[in-house]
Chain A
Amino acid sequence: QVQLVESGGGVVQPGRSLRLSCAASGFTFKTSGMHWVRQAPGKGPEWVGVISYDGSKKFYGDSVKGRFTISRDNSKNTLYLQMDSLRVEDAAIYYCAKDRGTGWLGMDDNWGQGTLVTVSS
């Protein structure tokens, strides 16, 4: 069965960087687009961005554009989220989610359990 396991969350100071990982198994990772979605405490979900199956196309939400970078290593079945210049408002649970197709059909019901990022001095 599909499994997505995020890691790399933790406490970081404003302005610093953090890299999250999402280890995928149970499906053909190299043919699936992948998304990152975050959810701040007590708030609704916010889409962070998407990467196509081959990594050639990436799109980001306005609040993270220019600061966050999504990448993937298909040889390791792993998705990454590099977060730079972190702000207090970036604090959230970060989820990776599988696309229904190669990156353009929206998230399907396969999400990870999330990893918590806290941004605080």
Chain B
Amino acid sequence: DIQMTQSPSTLSASVGDRVTINCRASQSISDWLAWYQQKPGKAPKLLIYKTSTLETGVPSRFSGSGSGTDFSLTINSLQPDDFATYYCQQYQTYSYTFGQGTRLEI
């Protein structure tokens, strides 16, 4: 299986900050990478697919980049609603795998 490693595990930030979460794949996944946001008690919410394509309705302050093995999610001008846990996920090969998560806290 392809292993996905996120960094950092926890990120402390303030409203208005710009933050970046990194994700590294154990082998090349081209651009088959998605990012999810999850809040307690809720299903993961898809933010970005195919590395950089925003899901419909996702604010433009979210952006994704990368290719091959190294990827990042950037959130500009953090809003109170953005404090949550974020997961990357590869879907280049079965079985799909998720990163261990990055908790974004105030």
Contacts and interface: CB of A to CB of B under 8 A. Distances in A.
A37 B44 CA distance: 10
Given A45-B36, A106-B34, A95 B95 contact: no
B30 interface: no
B43 A44 contact: no
Q: Which of A46, A60, A100, A106 has the most CB of B within 10 A?
A: A106
Contacts of B89: 45, 47
Contacts, number: 51
A114 B46 contact: no
Nearest to A61: B95
Contact of B98 (A45, A59, A106, A112): A45
Interface string B21-51: 0000000000010101010000111100100
Given A106-B49, A111-B43, A113-B43, A60 B95 contact: yes
Nearest to A63: B95
Nearest to B49: A106
Q: Which of A46, A107, A108 has the most CB of B within 10 A?
A: A107
Nearest to A104: B91
Contacts of B56: 109
Contacts of B95: 47, 49, 59-62
B71 interface: no
Q: Which of A44, A49, A95 has the most CB of B within 10 A?
A: A44
A22 interface: no
A50 interface: yes
A107 B46 contact: yes
Contacts of A100: 49
Interface in A68-114: 95, 100, 105-109, 111-114
A45 to B, nearest CB: 5
Contacts of A105: 91
Contacts of A60: 94-95
5 contacts: A44-B101, A47-B96, A47-B98, A111-B44, A113-B43
Interface of B: 1, 32, 34, 36, 38, 43-46, 49, 55-56, 87, 89, 91, 94-101
